[in-house]
Amino acid sequence: MQKQSEVHDEISFVIPKNQAANFGAFFDTLDQRLDEFDIRSYGVSMSNLEDVFLKINQEFAPDLFGDLRSFSDSKNSSNVSGSDLGKQDEFAGNKGIADSTSYSNSRDTGVAGTLKDADNSVDSKEQTPVEDPSDIENLIRGSSCVRSCSASTAKRMIIYKRDWCGLLCQIVIPLILVLFGLWLTSGPSKLTQSPPRHLSTGWYPKQRILMSEKPVNMVNDGFDVMGSELYANLPNSTSAFDVTYVDIENYTDFYTAVYEARNDEPLYPYRYGSYQIYQANKKSNLYSIVNFLNVTSQDVTAMYPQYIYQSILRVATGKPELNFDITSTPYPIYQKFKDLEEAAGAYDFVFMVAIALSLIPCVMVQFILNERELALKHQQLLSGMSLSGYWSSNIIFDIVMAFIPILLIIGLTFLFNKHYQGIWVLFLLYPFAVVPFTYVTSFLFKSDINAQIMTLFLHFVSGGLLVIIVFVLQFIPKTMAWGNALRWVFTIFPSFCVTHGILFSASGSLLVDATNADAQADSEYPIPRAIPPGIWEWYNLKGDAMALILHFIFGVICLALIELEVANLFQWCPKFGCRSGSAPRPHKGLIKDDDVLAEEKRVAMQGTKGPVFEEDMEQRLLSSEASTG
C-alpha cells in the first residue's frame, strides 16, 4: 500500500489491485481498530478518467506538475503522525493545493483516511490562518498554448492512424468524385463538324417536278429554249426526274400550282423543287428561271439551283457532256455553341466537386461533436489543456488535412487539362474558410450524426444547386437583378464561393455576351448588366476569393466569442501561453443523506465536533463540483 496524498485532515492511500482478495478481512479489522489509529471515517473509490489524466501529466510533464511529486515526497519525509493535525493543517495551507484536487485525489485513489484527534485539530485550526480561496492555485495547472497544440496534434494523428473511415471520407472518396467529374467533362465534344457533302441526284429518289412548257417572255427569233430542252440537260434527267409541263405565265398562279401539286397522289416521293422559265434565249444568252423549293430538306437550297445551272451551261455551250459539280462545306461551329457546351460540362464538374467538398467538413464536425458529447474536451481542459491551444491545434490540423485532397484535386485538373482560369486560388483558400465555418456551425447540433447529415446537405446544396440557380437567374434579363443579389448572399457558404468561381471561369463569357446584347437590344427589359468581362474583377473571382478570406477571419472571431461565454479564454501568462483554469463553482448548500447523518451522529457520540465534519464534507462537495463540472 502506497501513500498518495495528504490534505488537511485527510490522507489518501493507493491499494494495489492484486490485493483485492484481502479487502474483506482488511476492512473488518480496520472497522474494529478505528479508535486505535485515531481514524474518524474512511471511504473507498475506484480510479476514474481524471486520475488517468493526472497520472499522464505527472509522467510526461514533470516540469509543469512537479508539485504533485514534491508534495508526495514532503509528506513521506515529514513523518506526520495520525494525531499531529497541527502540522497537517500547516502543510495544507501551502499554495498549490486546492480543494478540488484534494477531493478528486482522495476520492479516486483508494482508501481515504481521516484523522480524528479533535483537540490537536482545534488547536491547529486556531494557529493556522484561513487563506483567501482566490489565493489558492489549482493543482492541475494549465499548460502553455504551444504545448497544448503539440499534445492535441499528436492525439489527432493517433486517431487518424486508426480511423480509416475518416481518411476514406475526407481524402479518397472526394478524389474519386472529382475524377468522375473530370471524366465527364473530358470526353469528346458532341459538337462535331459536319463533313463536306457532294451534291448529287442520288441523295433523293426520283423527283417529281413542275416546269414551264415555254418561256414566259419569248423573243420568237428561233433561239428561244423550251422547257423540254432544259429538262433534257438536267443531270441524270431520265433517271432522276419525273417532269410535268405546265403552261402558266403568271408567277402567282405558278406558285399556286406548285403548292397544290404537293397533295397529288401518291404523296411519296415528296416534291422538293419546280422551275418556271421566264426567259431563255441562246442568241442573247439571257436565262431567267424562277426556282420554287420545299425547304423541309436542308439540301434543296443548294441542289435544285445547281441542277438548273448545269442544264443552262450545257444548252448555252452546246456541250451536253458538261458537268457542273458542287460540294457543300458547312460553316464552322459557332463559338457560342462551344461556350454552351463548356458551361454544361463545367456544371457536371461543379456537381461532383460540390459533393467532394461537402465530405471534407463532415469528418471535422464529427470529431468536434464527439469531443463535446463524450466530455473529452472537458477532460483535456481539466488535465491542463489550454483552451486556445485546443482550438488552435484542431484548426491547424484540420486545415492541413483538408489541403491533402485539395492539392490532389488541383493536380488532377491540370492533368486533365481542365485548369479553369484562377480556380486554383479558390481551391487553396477553401481549407482556411471551411474549417472555422464548420467549427462555428457545430455548436448548432448536439449529435454528431445530425451534424454530419446537415453539413453534407448544406455544402452540397450551396455548392451544387444554388450556384446553378444564380447562374440561370443572371442569364435571364427579367430575373437578372435577383441573380446579382443572390450571388453575394450565398457567399456565406464556402462551397458556393468555389463552385461559383468554377462555373464563371468556364462559362462567364455567356453572361458577358448577354450583357452586350441587353445593352443594344430594344426589348422590354433593356437592363444593363453589372457583370464585367475581366475574370479577376471584384464581381467575379476576386469577390469569391475575398469572401473565403473573410470566412476565416470572422469564423475565428465567432469561435472565440462562443468560447468566451463558457471560459476565460485569454488568461495570458508571461511565457506567451494562454492558460485555462477551473475555479470551483459556488454550491447552493449541503444536502445530507441518511448515511451522512448516521456518521455525524456516531462522530458526535465519540466527542468529535460535528462542524468540523460538516466543513470537511462541504469542502468535498466544492471540490467534486469543480473536478466534474
Asked if residue 139 has pLDDT above 90, the reply is: no
According to DSSP, the β-strands at 39-45 and 197-198 are: unpaired
What are the residue boundaries of the structural domains of the chain, listed by start? 2-141+602-628, 146-187+343-564, 197-328
Grid cell listed for 18: 492484486
| pLDDT-derived band at 280, boundaries 50, 70, 90 | very high
Task: Give one DSSP letter per residue of 481-547, joined into a string.
Answer: HHHHHHHHHGGGSHHHHHHHHHHHHHHHHHHHHHHHHHHH--SS--PPP---S-TTSTTTHHHHHHH
Rounded Cα–Cα distance for residues 163 and 364 (Å) = 13
What are the pLDDT digits (tens) for 222-237?
899 999 999 999 988 8
Segment 70-101, tens digit of pLDDT: 444 443 333 333 333 333 333 333 333 333 33
Q: How far is CA 135 from CA 558, 583, 611, in A?
A: 33, 11, 24
| Least confident window among 144-148, 286-290, 482-486 | 144-148
Question: What are the cell numbers at 8?
Answer: 488537511
**Predicted pLDDT at 274:** 94
C-alpha cell recorded at residue 7: 490534505
- Residue 242 gets which letter from DSSP? E
| CA-based R_g, the chain, Å | 46
* Secondary structure E strands in 73-168: 110-115
User: What value does the mean pLDDT of the chain take?
Assistant: 74
Largest Cα span, the chain: 157
pLDDT of residue 133 exceeding 70: no
Contact (Cβ atoms closer than 8 angstroms) between residue 243 and residue 274: no
- The reply to whether omega before 266 is within 30° of 0 (cis) is yes
Q: Which residues pair with 207 in a beta bridge?
A: 241
Residues constituting the chain = 629
Q: Give pLDDT tens digits for 173-228.
A: 999 988 888 888 777 777 788 888 887 888 888 889 999 999 999 998 889 999 99
Report how far residue 532's alpha carbon sits from residue 539's, in angstroms, rounded to the nearest whole number.
7
What 3-state class would DSSP assign to 220? Answer: coil
Determine if residue 236 is left, alpha or beta; phi over 0 gives left, psi from -120 to 50 gives alpha, anything else beta.
left
Give pLDDT, residue 547.
93
Q: How confident is the model at residue 577 (pLDDT cuts 50, 70, 90)?
A: very low
274 class by beta-carbon count within 10 Å (0-12 exposed, 13-18 middle, 19+ buried): buried
pLDDT of 18 over the 70 cut: yes
Amino acid at 82: G
Q: Check: CB of residue 623 under 8 Å from CB of residue 584.
A: yes
What phi and psi, each to the nearest 5 degrees, are found at residue 40? -75, -50
Q: Which long-range contacts (CB under 8 A, 24 or more apart) does 232-240 make?
A: 233/310, 233/311, 233/312, 233/314, 233/315, 233/320, 234/307, 234/308, 234/310, 234/311, 235/201, 235/307, 235/310, 235/311, 235/323, 236/201, 239/201, 239/206, 240/201, 240/204, 240/206, 240/207
Q: Which is more confident, 311 or 372? A: 311
Taking Cα atoms as reference points, which of 587, 582, 580 lies closest to residue 620? Answer: 587
The answer to whether 384 touches 63, Cβ cutoff 8 Å, is no
With contact defined as beta carbons under 8 Å apart, do 64 and 143 qualify? yes
State the pLDDT at residue 137. Answer: 38
Q: From residue 163, how far is each of 237, 355, 367 by CA, in Å?
A: 82, 21, 11
